[in-house]
Amino acid sequence: MKFHTKIYLLFSGYLLSVEKMSPMSAVKSRLLPAITTVTSVGVGVLLGVQYERKALPFPSVLAKTSSPSDEVDTRTVPGHLVPVPPMPGPQSSPGKAGQIMRYGFPGLTDLKSREGYVVSYDRRNRNPHWVFEHLTSAHVRGDSDRQQCDFKEDETIHPYFRATNWDFKRSGYDRGHLAAAANHRHSQTAMGDTFYLSNISPQVGEGFNRDAWNRLEMYVRGLTKQFNNVYICTGPLYLPRKEVDGKMYVKYEVIGRNHVAVPTHFFKVIACETNKGELILESYVMPNAKIDNNLPLKNFLVPVESIERASGLLLFDRIPRNAFKAINGRQP
């Protein structure tokens, strides 16, 4: 399988090692996605509720900080130093998350739902974790104008974790869309939303963002002619590779004073639905590097499981894999 060999190389030795996993455990492991997802969302909800319902020890201060338009740092306002009331003996109910994290919950991944996409933002790497889109032929047509869009900071993200246009200045990298602007031509707002920097990763410009990756994006838009509904999950990868000492290392550049990570690779997993309700799945990984323009897109097909392992995400896991008519061009 020539093209598999090629993609294994591009994938920097990552697949070689993950593919060695025993097939038995791989089979069993497909069982759990739904459960795990439900569980983690469930726990999130539980903790969220528990956290929200916990009486706040600083009502006056927190009332102030809850207003986004309030520009005063209440910590510097005299008279706001309220003593913390002693709390009841903690031994009485060990292990209550709300009690353990009484003074703050470090946070879940930031989730933003926009007109054309949903993004989970990686606050540590100042990149998206993943961006989800749903496209139809109607979404990708229209007269929205890219020239009217500007790259903009996402002010819903805490300033500590927010990528800025300055971070990209003189970095040598493009501000690469994960939800592509041209996927949302039907609405100027939807197109504009794709210019939030929370939908952007640093991408190699020539040979990648403007070439191979753009070809993949055009291919995805083309799928809306054949299929009624096209669902896309796009995200960055930080793949390890073996160095001369024989050990595996993850290594990536960070740019700007906010240390925006430069992913080593990007993935795109696409589920297409026909009008008969049949589904096909395709999953791609491309290195964030100059790519030979003659390489066909199918060279970048990789098993979706490999992307799941590398990204820490479960993709289209509500559909049993054998319910797809085809995965990467073959019957599952």
Residues between 292 and 321 with contacts to a second copy, criterion CB under 8 A? 305, 308-321
Residue 93 within binding range of a second copy, rule CB under 8 A = no
Residues pairing with 110 in the sheet: 121
d(CA 239, CA 11): 8
d(CA 282, CA 139): 20
**Among the candidate windows 16-24, 197-205, 212-220, 291-299, which touches a second copy by CB under 8 A?**
16-24
209 annotated among ligand-binding-site residues? yes
Segment holding 172, helix H or strand E = none
Query: First and final CA of the chain: distance in angstroms?
Result: 18
**Among the candidate windows 98-106, 204-212, 215-223, 290-298, which touches a second copy by CB under 8 A?**
98-106
Residue 82 within binding range of a second copy, rule CB under 8 A = yes
Looking at the annotation, which residues are catalytic? Answer: 177
Residue 152 within binding range of a second copy, rule CB under 8 A = no
**Residues counted in the chain:** 332
Tokens 């795109």: give the residue: 268
Residue 49 within binding range of a second copy, rule CB under 8 A = yes
Residue 218 within binding range of a second copy, rule CB under 8 A = no
d(CA 135, CA 163): 27
Residues between 248 and 277 with contacts to a second copy, criterion CB under 8 A? 248-255, 257, 259, 261, 271, 273, 275-277
Return the structure tokens found at 72: 């005063």
Tokens 């990528």: give the residue: 163
Residue 136 within binding range of a second copy, rule CB under 8 A = yes
Give, in order, the Cα–Cα distances in Å from 298 to each of 6, 45, 110, 203, 233: 11, 40, 33, 21, 18
C-beta separation of 261 from 163 below 8 A? no
Cβ closest to a second copy, residue 82 vs residue 218: 82
Query: Among 10, 15, 190, 285, which residue interacts with a second copy (rule: CB under 8 A)?
Result: 190
Residue 103 within binding range of a second copy, rule CB under 8 A = yes
Residue 327 within binding range of a second copy, rule CB under 8 A = no
Binding-site residues from annotation: 209
Binding-site residues from annotation for Mg(2+): 209
